[in-house]
Amino acid sequence: MSTVFDAPPPSLPADRVAGFAAATFGVTGEITPLASERDQNLRVGGHVVKVAHAAEDAAVLDLQSAALRHLARTAPHLPLPRLVEPGVVQYDGHLVRAVTWLDGAPYAEVTHTPELRRSLGTFMGRLSAGLAGFGHPAAHRPGFLWNLDDAAAVEPWVADIADEADRAMVAGVFARHRRVVAPRLPALRAAVVHGDANDWNVLVDRDGQRVSGLIDFGDVAWGRQVNELAVTLAYALLDVPDVVAAASDVIAAYCAEFPLTGDELHVLWELVATRLAVSVAVSSHRSREFPDNGYLLVSQAPALRLLRRITAMKPEFLRACARAAAGLPPVPLQPAITAWLDDRDACRPTGPLPFDLRTAARVVVSLAGDAPLTAITDPVASWEWIRAEMTAADAVVALGRYDEDRACYAGEQFTTDAPEPRSVHTGIDLFVEVDTPVRAMLPGTVETVVDNAAAYDYGPTVILRHETATGTPFWVLYGHLSRATLTTVQPGQQVSPGDVVGFVGDHTVNGGWAPHTHLQVMTTLLLERWGEADAAPDGNFEGAGEPSRMQVWRSIVPNADLLLRLAPETWEDRAADTPDVLAARRRADLGPSLSVSYRRPLSIVRGEGVWLHDHTGRSFLDCVNNVAHVGHAHPHVVESIARQAAVLNTNTRYLHRTILDYAERLAALFPDPLSVVFLTNSGSEANELALRIARTATGRTDVVALDWGYHGNTAALVDVSAYKFNRKGGAGRPPHTHLADLPDPYRGAHGADGAAYAASVAAACERAAADGHTGAAAFIAESISGCGGQVAFPDGYLTAAFRAANAAGAITIADEVQVGFGRVGTHLWAFQPQLEG
C-alpha cells in the first residue's frame, strides 16, 4: 500500500498560491502557512487554500467536494467548512480548492467536560443524519486503510508491534472483530461517513463547552454508519477518568440525533477497539518503514492506554452501557425475563429458606454508610448487631436491601475502571443462623459450585440455571454458604423447587461476613471476552455495582424480590436519602444563608478519624472541617460525651465541678494576668462576646478588620466581615468598619512585607479616629485567613499589626475559631501572646 510518507507535501511559493486563490476563488487576506501531513495548506484571510498532494486521486477530491456541497444543503446550520466555488481546479500540476476557515481550539487541547462530550455527540449525530442518502462513485475506496469495514487488511501489521503484551492485546481485538463484527456487517446500515473525527479535527468554541466545527474530509468513504460514532469515541475517550461515563455522554447525545439500531450497538465497542487497534498497527508498521520518525510510536501511546482499559472490561458490560445510553434496555432479554418472573400465574417460586419468608417475622437492616462502624468492618460484631436487631423485632430473619449503597465493600475486587468502587448491593441478603439450609426456588440445573475463597468474596457459591416458559435462560446465585455446600450439589445436576442446594456458612468460610446468603438473579453471566474465545462460567459474579452505572446493573442483576415476592412494605424506601432529594428538602426547609459545598453536594453520613464517608461509602480526606478537633468519632470523645449525657445535661445555672475543672485547665495555659474564661457555644458567639468586651472597655464602636475576613454570622460580626458585606448579597462596608489590607504573601499588594501590611492597620486605625469617629474599639483578625484562601501571614505581621492597634487604643481580638485549639502549627495546645514576639 502507498503511504503518506512516500513523497513530501507540495511546497509552492505561498504568495503565488495566494495570488492564484484571489484570482480563482476571490479569496484574499493575510497569508499563514498551516501544518499538514499530506497537502500544502494556507490560511488566506477567512479561508483555507488547500494544494493537494501530487499523488492525490482527483476522484477522491471530487468526493470530498460533493460531500461538503451535500452537507451545505442537508445540514446548513452545522459549522463545517464550506466549499468555495468553482471547487477543485488545476494549478501548477496540483489540484487546488478553497474552503471557509473555522474558528476554534482543537478538542485535544481543551478540558473535556460532560457538556463538551454531549456537544460532540450531538454534532456527530447531526453529521450522520446529514450524510444519510449521500452517494458518490469514489466513496467506495477498496484498500483504504482507515475504513473500519476493511480493518482485516491491517491485521498482518500486528506483527510489527514491538511490545509482546501489546501485540497480544491488539491481536485479540482483531480476533474479536472476526468473531463478532464481521458476521454482522451485512446487516448493518451503510452510508458515506466522515471517518476521522479525531481530537485534532474536532474544534471547540472559546468557552470549551461546545463543538464549533469539524475539519478534514480526507477520510470520507462508504462504510457502516456506526463506524462514525466508533471513530469519534476512539479519540474522545483518550485518557478520560471514566471510560464508560465519557462514552455514555457521547453515545446518548449522538443517538438523540441519529438513533442506532440494536445490531449497531451490539458491535459499537468492538469497532471502537478496532479503530484503536488499526491505529496502533499502522503506526507500528510505518515506524519500521520510517525508523527516524519517532512521533509515530509516541502518538500511539494514548491509543494503547485506552485499549488496555477497554479490553480489561467485559464486552457485554460495555455493550449494555452503550444500549442504556442509547435508550434501549441494557440487556436485550431482561424485560422478557423480569416480566415472566413477575407473572404470578406463569412463575411460581418456592421460598429459599426452611420457613415461609412471606409470613415469618422479619426485620430489614441497613449496611449503608450510616450503619455502625463495627457492623461494617467486623463480621462477629456485625452478626451481634444484626442478631440484636432481630431480637428487638422478634424476627427469625434479617433482610439486607437490594440496590443499597454500602460502605462495607473494601476488597480490591470492588475497584473498577470508574473513579468509584462497586458499592451498591445487587442482591438481597438473608441473615439467618449458621447451617440454615438454602433451597432451590424454581426447577433448574446446577451451573456451578465453587468456593470463592478470597477475602470479602462469596466463599462457597452455587449458581443455578433456570429458563422462562419460552426457554430464555437466567441464573440465580446463592453466596456465602458453608463448605458442606461443595458436596451437596454438583454441576449439571437437575434440581426441583425446595431441593436443598447448600447451607449458610459462618464468617471463617463465607468470605468474612456475618452469616447470611446473598441471593441474586442474573439475566446474563457476562461470559464474552476479547480474543479468540469467550469464557466458561467460573462460579463467581459481581454482587455490587458502581453507583453511576446502576441503570445497567439493574438490567444485568434485577431485584431478587421478583422471586421472594415480599410485601412492598417490607422494604423501607431509601430514596429520601439520595443527595438530590436531600438537597431539595434542604432548599425547602432551611434558610439559604446556610451554604453547601460543591456543585454536586456530598451526603456525608459518617466520620472516622481524618476521613468523612458519604452515603455510598466513599471516603474523603477531611481537610476543611472546623468542627472535629481530634478527628471524627474519636473513641475517647465519644465515650465521654455518652457518659456525661447519661448523667446530666443542663445549663450553667447550677454548681458543678466539671465546668470549673475545665475552666481552670484552660486558664492554666494563659499567661498572667489572663485568668478568667467565658465559655460559648460557637465561634460567632465567641467573637460577638469579644466585640462587646472591646466596645464596653473602650467606649468606642468602630472596628478595624482585614479585607476578606469572616468572623461569624451575627449582625455585628457580618458588619466586620468583608467576606460577607462586600460579596453578592452583602450591603457593603458599614461606616463603623475600617478595612486593612489582607496580608497575602502571594497575591497581596506588598508581597511578603509584613511591616507594610501592618502599616495599613495603623492607617485604618487613623481613619477610625477621623471625621467624627471616636477611634477603633478593636482590631479583629484571624491568625490564618480562612475565607481569604487559607493564607498564612508574613513573619512578624501579627506582632506589628497588634502593636499598631494597641498604640491607637484598640483592643486586639485574635479570631482563632478555625485555626486555634490544636488545629494547626507545631505548638498544638500552646498559647503565645502576639506581643511577646
| Average pLDDT over every residue of 242-263 | 98
Supply the pLDDT for residue 2: 46
Quote the pLDDT of residue 410. 64
Residue 826, pLDDT above cutoff 70: no
- pLDDT greater than 60 at residue 353: yes
Give 275 or 787, the one with higher predicted confidence. 275
Q: In order of start, what are the domains of the chain with their CATH numbers?
A: 14-100 (3.30.200.20), 105-325 (3.90.1200.10), 339-570 (2.70.70.10), 573-602 (no CATH), 604-649 (no CATH), 663-836 (3.40.640.10)
The pTM score is 0.76
Residue 561 near residue 427 (C-beta atoms within 8 A):
no
- pLDDT, position 760: 95
C-alpha cell at 24: 480563482
The pLDDT mean for the chain works out to: 91
Residue 206 CA to its chain's centroid (Å):
24
Reported confidence tier of residue 375, pLDDT bands at 50, 70, 90:
low
d(CA 190, CA 161): 31
User: With contact defined as beta carbons under 8 Å apart, do 307 and 173 qualify?
Assistant: yes
pLDDT of residue 837: 39
Mean pLDDT of 708-723: 92
Higher-confidence residue of 38 and 802: namely 802
DSSP 417: S
Q: Average pLDDT of 368-393?
A: 83
CA distance 680 to 31: 72
Considering only CA atoms, which of 321, 240, 545, 581 is closest in space to residue 420? 545
pLDDT in tens, 434-485: 999 999 999 999 999 999 999 889 999 999 999 999 999 999 999 999 999 9
Cell of 671: 499567661
Confirm if 187 and 217 have CB atoms less than 8 A apart.
no
> Residue 298's pLDDT band (boundaries 50, 70, 90)?
low
Q: Per the structure block, which three cell numbers stand in for 38? A: 499530506
Does residue 8 carry a pLDDT above 80?
no
Assigned C-alpha cell, 691: 466585640
Report, as an integer, the average pLDDT of 344-363: 93
For residues 653-661, give the mean pLDDT. 92
Q: For the residues 169-196, what does the mean pLDDT come to? A: 97
- Secondary structure class of 810 (helix, strand, coil): coil
Specify the pLDDT at position 3.
47
Per-residue pLDDT for 524 more than 70? yes
What number of other Cβ atoms are within 10 A of residue 383's Cβ?
21
What is residue 404's three-state secondary structure? Answer: coil
Dump pLDDT digits (tens) for 535-568: 999 999 999 999 999 999 999 999 999 999 998 8
Q: What is the pLDDT of residue 627?
A: 73
Residue 305: phi and psi, rounded to 5, are -60, -45
Nearest to 404 by CA among 214, 617, 89, 228: 617
Least confident window among 59-68, 325-334, 630-639, 736-745 = 630-639
Cell of 112: 473535556
